[in-house]
Structure 1
Amino acid sequence: MLRILKDFSLSALVAGFVAVLIGFASSVAIVFQAAQAAGADANIIVSWIMALGLGMGATCFFLSLWYRSPIITAWSTPGAALLATSLGTISYAEAIGVFVFAGILTLLTGVSGLFDKVMRLVPLPLASAMLAGVLFKFGLSIFDSMMSDIFLVGIMLITYLVSKRFLPRYAVLFVLVAGVAFVLARSDGQLMSDVPFSLGAFVWIWPEWNIGALIGIGIPLYIVTMTSQNIPGVAVMRSSGYQAPVSPLISWTGLTSIMLAPLGGFAFNLAAITAAICSGDECHKDPKRRYIAGLSAGVFYWFAGLAGTSVVALFSIFPATMIAALAGIALLGTIGMNLKSAMADDSNREAALVTFLVTVSGVSFGGIASAFWGILFGVICLIIANIKFK
């Protein structure tokens, strides 16, 4: 406890809060769609949010504390999107079976150590290029949002530029305050009156097993979670200089998925976008003290889970333009840092550029996300470039 108090900083606390805010607000609607596709009623949907908040809170807090690194976890957003379009033909109990099965596959991947070995073979410039590609659209979202709400986004961007010049550690905090203040002022103070204050309740459903669903939905859920979430998540840690062992992290997310699946915790994984917010210079200049952001995110995720319907309603009142602009501004430094790292070495530059472009393109072959193909194409370019002819 004394160590935590010594390392505590307001900027790291804010980084954790912003990560939770963006994580919930940017994709909670997709989780709703997935739950509804599974046949969940209102009470079960609240149980999903509570289970996800509990799981992310526990893994963020304890893994960050144990490894003294900002380990940020999240629900699988592409997994939720997959479920929203795939669960309509099976029962809710069979959907729970799918979640448990995907969690078992993730746990086995972590325990075997295979994922860690593969990720260590990926050169840092390619990992940085892939991460920059994943985050690139968030940087663009600042200016896309500005087209829809020029005053809100303009104020947030100017606030960032000014605070970055004079108080860089608190730049994201000032941007958040400016955005919230502007939204509340524009609503004449009526916005908060629409938020109900109540706690939810867990709903436990035992899994049932449908072989067709396990193969047709469970395996794709596992694949998209590993390729779209865990690969970028590891890239964030590596590009920020954190060398926490990957296999135990993957194992814990898989075990958490298995344990919380009957409550609605459909898939947990390493985060990329929100992890980047908690592992950059804006969080804290000293990398050894950024783990406080992971502890902070864990606590805020717990609050979000316990509050259930109230937190979902609270996050939903903020306009999409504000959330998009906040995410993009918070990630500007990380995007720049990774582009620099990717292109610094002449011998890897072309392969890194291919990785970046493929990732940005959003191409998807066989339902596997562009982050995976970006790395694969980049490695192929690197191998060809290093072939030596006698």
Structure 2
Amino acid sequence: MVRLLRPLVRGRTYTRLLHLWVPVAAISVWLWVEPRLPWVPLLVLVPVGLIPAVRVGEVMQARLLLTPDAAEADFSTRPATAWRDRWRTVLWLEIRTLLGGVAAYLSIWLPIVAYALAARAVGHETEDLPALSGEPQWAYGLLAPLPLIALYGIVVGLGEALTAAARRLLGPSAAERLSALEERTEQLLERNRIARELHDSIGHALTVAVVQAGAARAANSAEFTDRALTAIEETGRAALEDLERVLGVLRESERPAGSRPTLADAGRLLESARASGAKVDAEVAGQLETLPGHVSREGYRMLQEALTNVLRHAGAVPARVRIEVADGALTLDVRNPLPDASVAPGRGGGLRGIRERAALLGGRAHTGPDDAGDWAVRVELPRG
């Protein structure tokens, strides 16, 4: 019983009801002007929903009224630029309007029915329900709470249904999730690069300062102390310049997607792996330029993670890389000998990221030991 009554004390029950009522307010104005054409507002919602910025406004209302006590709702934060997302917004507006009309109608008439039943139970005449006219009957009093109970269940049920529809239709599409994942990956890569630069620069400067200061104290020589202070000054100045440069990078705006590396830049990945000690044997088949931009960018990141995995867990070992483009589909295959203490398949966050990227693009990825005893990362992506 407590569980059934709990929605009565929750604020979101009433904010969801308000969200259902909002579109009815505009429709009621139209019905007052032209009651013979009640379906016209539903037609008007079609071109309105196709406007990209409309989804942003709908998401703001959904977050405020449908999920006010949620820590983070899974809604899109961008205008609906793709036509598929625009039609999802249109469908959302239609569903919201229809459910709002049902909620508004029942919110008015069910309390009237409850009042009419209670009135007839005590002998008062009512014109709201002519069918109840006649002699008063005490049984009407027993039925009076039923419309209010039904209204309570309908309001809670419609609120839950509308919230589920909002998450489904106003949530990010697969392309938007992929774009967000790509941006997150770029941010993490940039943070890692900055962390390495700060570690190398500041760490080196501090090490030099500590060593030179200790040596100057042990030497107890004015001349040596002067040289040590000069070295500390020069190293500190260089570290400050490096720090200012890194902070300048942090202040820069994010790069657009078009400037991110693609598989056409795979050569520098391979050279970087070779410079780190790995013996990379690479083979490229097909025209990389024919790949769609998002497939090529994600393929570059997956190849990067596969090579990083080789260097991190296997070290300077021979690695075989094959990149194949056939009929618009992409196949990546990276293999290397297993290290002495091999990791279990699929435990790394980077390998999980490869599989997630492949799934978002409608492809598949396999990571783990193969039949030949090598560690293999194989990615197959369909035509974009």
Shorter-chain-normalised TM-score: which range? under 0.3
**Greater percentage in strand:** 2
Q: TM-score, normalised by structure 1?
A: 0.23
Q: TM-score, normalised by structure 2?
A: 0.24
Larger relative contact order (Cα-Cα within 8 Å, sequence gap ≥ 6): 1
Structure whose alpha-carbon radius of gyration is higher: 2
**Greater percentage in helix:** 1
